[in-house]
Chains A and B, each alone.
Chain A
Amino acid sequence: MKFSRVILANLFRKKVRLLLTIGSFAVALFLFAFLAVVKDAFGRGADVAGADRLVIINRTSIINPIPLSYRDKILRIPGVKVITHNNWFGGVYQDEKNFFPQFVIDPENQRQVFPELIVPDDQWAAFVKDRQGAIVGKRTAERFHWKIGDRIPIKSTITGNDAWEFNIDGIYHGKRPQDDETQFWFQWDYFEERVPERFKGNIGWYVLRVDNPDESPRIAKAIDNEFANSPYETKTETESAFAAGWVKQFGNIQFLILTIGAVVFFTLLLVTGNTMAISVRERTAELAVFKAIGYSDRTVLFFVLAESLVIALIGGVLGLLLAMGVVPFMSKALSGMLPNLILSPVLLVMGLLTALAVGIISGLLPGIGAMRMRVVNALRRV
């Protein structure tokens, strides 16, 4: 790089401006990463869904129950490998602000249906033996500083205002970063024992795994047909369809974030583009001198472009590094409101490419101007 000294000298000509421009890039890329991560969190669901999992809910309404007695009938349908059932508990830990999902689970099959949520075997064994036992996701455990052996009171909203006591027997973690690590599981037997008569024998939803995912539509249909015209008709969907439907209910939030992102990016592009243009304009005479002493038009364009690319690269990397540092904190702070925020490598690469694209565009306009100008006019200009 024989021109590197020229480029460096040009870069450091105005240090304040250099810092500010790099700063603008860093801010833009930080916001890019941040918004992308939040948008991703709102759209989460479809990508955590197991390909071979089906969800069965009450056809009438998601808040209506399904009898536990359906389980054996469902298991008889060919292609069904294993099935588990869950209830929504909706209890309150200390204050309503401290929301996290609590599921009543079937200890026998939960782990087979959700193999990606990993509980150490000894912890699981303790849980199965303990009627008041609970397994909690890593994120929730960290949020409330719970350790194994802690006794946790949760106010039930089903049985009045009484507190149910649970022993934390285990902490699960997800195999993949996007897995939900906020759930709180406890035993169906304990639940059924304490709830009023009308809740007994009724579960919230079933989740099952099939032998062959290609067979899913047929199996879903067979299940729904089995219970058609019964008092509790079912609606069976693949887990990803279920999750996608759930996500759609959030409405236009993803679109909103995209719009904001576009506005932010456009604005910052303008700001940085303008700075580049100013700095080239100030140096018109100098560039003319380069051309006058024999440097080609292309080399002059290269000077300008290289400068803006270096700024974009440094700013972009800084912004993304900042995002990498901040996102885990945000994820903790928003725990209970949003799913885990994940900054994926794909996003980082996309961010960097965008930064470079902005760098090229904002360098190209003044650069082409510099390339095309006539030396005589440029030298004459003050």
Chain B
Amino acid sequence: MAIPLIYNVRSVRARWTSTIVAVLGIAGTVGVFVAMLSLARGFKATLVASGSRDNALIMRAGSPSEMMGGITLDSIKVIADKPGIARDANGPLVTQDVVGVFPFPLISTGTDANVQVRGVSPNVLEIRKFAKIVEGRMFNSGVSELIVGKNATHTYQGLTLDNKVNFSGGKWTVVGIFDAGGSAFDSEVWCDSHVLAEILKRPNNIFQSATVHLTSPDAFQTLKDAITSDPTLNVDVIREVDYYAKQSRTMTTMITVLGGLVAGIMAIGAVFGALNTMYSAVSERGREIATMRAVGFTGSAVVFSFLVEALLIALVGGLLGCFAVLPLNGLTTSTMNFQTFSNLAFAFKITPELLAKGVFFALVMGIVGGLLPAIRAAAQPVASALRSL
């Protein structure tokens, strides 16, 4: 017969100081674990959300990123006629981008950070359909007007609606704010590619990349085959989502490795704490346990009961840890994207799955910390334990 659960609840309450400490130990560990994973997840989500499955990015063969790209207008014209590319009344849906990186002061520190400025075709909103103008209007082609991503406008000084800014020797007016759905584009500033190329003194027939809108996600292979079989073209075609997922890899790996390591080591510490708490629980309750055995509870019932108690402590700790980091969800922070040398804003992303992982982690700590003391509790000889003070 099992020992009633109420016994565990009561004994946990009776030793509330050490219980609280054990709970906090596990809560801290779970909190750090969930926070680090959510950071990695948020970074990845931002970059992955930046791509769309029905867009394809075209760069010069071998370029690891757009920054290093270089694709001629002639190639883009050839590509635009390939099958698989969606069209509207004005022709194929292609944006050819010129990408620059310019220093703007951060609002938070006042020091300069690199902002990615992207020259795009005026019909870009037809291609990157997830981007919407939320304030002001689209830029007019041929003039130096900017539209600013919603994160960029909050992160850098001067990038607010109707404000005038100078960079790269040009005077620009911010005419609109766009929302690109929490993607990396939200940290960017967009303008007309021809105007940007002119101001950067770049040749007007070379672009860093071209992005095309596909007739459907499945049309990607058709387009890719058509481009790779054309010997005049020396370009790579990659699905936009895949391009951004690849960009997130270094950073995500680093955060996951560091975070996993810290949480792992911390878990050892927390298990030590849990072991200590449970061992003292066992030694303080030597007589109680012996009494239970004497009145007929089996050794396995005692083991089970102590495990339940450890799990109870771990569960409360796990939930507390999850609860404590929940406010981080959606909090925006920014860091450098190594692939583009520009600043990227992203948010902590705490998903139910992560929380479940956190609680599971807590329960594992509970089992590891509770099992040995539980076995010791059951193994104590009844007679001598009853006799001891």
Contacts and interface: CB of A to CB of B under 8 A. Distances in A.
A267 B24 contact: yes
Chain B binding site: helix, strand, loop or mixed by DSSP? Answer: helix
Contacts of B270: 267, 271
Nearest to A274: B21
B167 A60 contact: yes
Interface stretch (A44-52, A155-163, A349-357): A155-163
B272 A27 contact: yes
B334 interface: yes
B341 A16 contact: no
A24 B273 contact: yes
B112 to A, nearest CB: 6
Contact of A251 (B67, B169, B200, B336): B336
A267 B320 CA distance: 13
Contact of B335 (A17, A60, A249, A268): A249
B384 interface: no
B68 interface: yes
Nearest to B234: A160
Contacts of B234: 160-161
Nearest to B251: A337
A27 B106 contact: no
Interface in A238-272: 244-245, 248-253, 256, 260, 263-264, 266-268, 270-272
Chain A binding site: helix, strand, loop or mixed by DSSP? Answer: helix
A271 B262 contact: no
A60 B102 contact: yes
Contacts of A251: 333-336, 343
A62 B21 CA distance: 51
Interface string A1-43: 0000000000000101100110110011011001100100000
A108 interface: no
A334 interface: yes
Interface residues of B, number: 68
Contacts of A31: 262, 265-266, 269
Contacts of B29: 267
Contacts of A282: 280, 283-284
Interface string B66-95: 011000000000000000000000000000
Contacts of A248: 106, 109, 111, 113
A63 B266 contact: no
B343 A249 contact: yes
Contact of B61 (A90, A158, A161): A161
Interface in B213-269: 234, 246, 250, 253-254, 257-258, 261-262, 265-266, 268-269
Chain A interface residue number, banded: 35 or more
Given A61-B102, A63-B341, A249-B114, A92 B64 contact: yes
Most chain-A CB neighbours within 10 Å: which of B39, B67, B114? Answer: B114
Most chain-A CB neighbours within 10 Å: which of B24, B32, B265? Answer: B265
Most chain-B CB neighbours within 10 Å: which of A31, A249, A263? Answer: A249
Contacts of A270: 21, 24-25, 273
Contacts of A264: 28, 32, 262, 266, 269
B250 A337 contact: yes
Contacts of A338: 254
A266 B28 CA distance: 9
A38 B106 contact: no
B68 A250 contact: no
Contacts of B103: 61-62
A246 to B, nearest CB: 8
Contact of A267 (B61, B261, B266, B338): B266
Interface of B: 17-18, 21-22, 24-25, 27-29, 31-32, 35-36, 39, 60-64, 67-68, 100-103, 106, 109, 111-114, 167-169, 200-201, 203, 234, 246, 250, 253-254, 257-258, 261-262, 265-266, 268-270, 272-273, 275-277, 279-280, 283-284, 333-336, 338, 341, 343, 389
Give the 6 A-B residue pairs with the shortest CB-CB distance, closest first. A161-B62, A267-B28, A271-B273, A27-B269, A274-B21, A157-B68
Given A60-B167, A99-B250, A251-B335, 10 more contacts: A27-B268, A157-B63, A160-B234, A161-B62, A249-B113, A249-B336, A251-B333, A268-B269, A275-B280, A278-B276
13 contacts: A21-B276, A60-B168, A63-B341, A99-B250, A157-B68, A160-B234, A251-B335, A252-B335, A256-B39, A264-B28, A267-B266, A271-B22, A273-B21
Interface of A: 14, 16-17, 20-21, 23-24, 27-28, 30-31, 34-35, 38, 60-64, 90, 92, 96-97, 99, 155-158, 160-161, 198, 231, 233, 244-245, 248-253, 256, 260, 263-264, 266-268, 270-275, 277-278, 282, 334, 337-338, 382
